[in-house]
Structure 1
Amino acid sequence: MSLNAMDWVWTRSAAKGTARMVLLAIADKCPDEHCTAYAGTTMLVQRTNAARSSVVTAVDKLLDGDELLIVEGAKGPRGETVYRLPLAIGHVRSTHEESRFRGPASGPVQNPDQSGNQTPRGTELGPQGCGIRTPAGPDSTPQNAYERKHQAEQQPRASRSPLIPELRPLDDALAAVGIPMRWTLGLGEQRDLWQLMRAHGVEALVDLAARRTAPGADAKPARYWLKVWGDLDRAPTTQPGPNVVPLRAAPAAYTDNLAAGLALLHARKEGTAS
């Protein structure tokens, strides 16, 4: 799956800068566990939003290493180059903080159903054909079933991925100012948040979160803050006038600045009148 290949790039790849984004763009197109995908230079330029020369240089640099290779004799539908991420083969993303690799698994015991089709024993067909293990034996007791359900409710959804290293500065800054956070983002959402960090900086994101967080407030999911921070891209360029009433009470520092600004405005009006 492309998510496994992308997770390998986020957590294991040593590529940096444009080369890392190129590797992510190729990994995103990998359709299966073979970590092979076709990609043209034009597509990579569009996906990375980088200059064509930078993309070509990044691809050459990756090919000189061991994280990307060309599949000889294979071409895409429009003659695109076919690439493989050899080190990502066998990587399986995990909901735990540390990703793990899954070794070769023995084939499941097959049991025919009433229609004569073969289905894996002890599994159920989940979304997109993913096998979900059905516990048997001691694990199937009512008490263990309750504990599994409780743990599943406490765990983030399946789309959660390990926090990428690029978001660590934001996580540390939020913790430093006492803003609780529940990281439940998928890889694509983490990539969107990273773009916001690059565009506006960590301080701007933390400042906005501080304005929206009351003392002692419970931790909010990261998806909530992603929507809040996304408003920075749509924020007006002009400052609100003095008659705009804030929706929330601002911290003392902002209140003092506002009072000073109003006093200066009042003084200028009096000087004009005289």
Structure 2
Amino acid sequence: MTLDAMHWVWNHSQSKGNARIALLYVADQVRTPRCVVRLSYADFMEALNAPRSTVKAAVKAAVLSGELELQELGKGTRPSQYRLPKAVGYVRPSTSSGPDSDPLETHETTSSGPDSDPLSPNHDHASGPDSDPERAGFRPSSGPDSDPHSPTHSPSKHEGEPERQQQDDYGIPDAVRPLVDSMTASGVIVRWPFTGDQWFPLIALISKCGVPALVAYARRTADRTHVDSARYFMRGWSELPPKPAAGSPIHTPRPHLRAVGQSPEDRGIF
């Protein structure tokens, strides 16, 4: 259900900015066919890495769009209940060999019995960042538990290709790698301590603002203060405007002209 709900948000949602990130987080937590999940504002704040006011505005925008329903307000320690109405019954397209066919899920289900479905409501499914690395765009590592028949399996040097160092790009999703490379090339060398679904807000910002704008902001910030982690930029990045629409006119400001006679040179005083 989680992958189907997230596929719907990525490909059919009309939301933008933080509202889209909020919907992606709700979809990531879905575990039932009804697409219902209980979440608190604290959960949203941690996922979006944003203050309560930003989260409140994002959730409100998602609800007003009709793509998110607030079915029950939280009470006491019981979080509010949300639902993705348009994702109910949605099944993502699948192919025999594409990544959407989810060969790892099929293998686990058939090999461990009917109760081992990691997305089943009865399964004790972990909600941490390692629960589904494929959702965040990761490739399986080359450790002993990796599936050698997976589509993302990389040939080893024994199969006729040069050995490539850490084919999983050191845990960085493909969608984020252009930003990481551009930041490093521009001299902003920082840690990227994101894991699992913590990458989703960053991927959404790349889609919203574009890599050049994020790098330019990071470069200006790093020139003023020492920055050790990419998390430091997240709040500023989230406040940047979206990329201009294709075909938007480019206005070049005119140079400032100083009035004649205002400078010593203009008055003939040298």
TM-score, structure 1 as length reference: 0.39
Indicate the structure with greater strand content. Answer: 1
Indicate the structure with greater helix content. Answer: 1
Q: Higher RCO, 1 or 2 (CA under 8 Å, sep at least 6)?
A: 2
TM-score, structure 2 as length reference: 0.40
State the structure with more CA Rg. 1
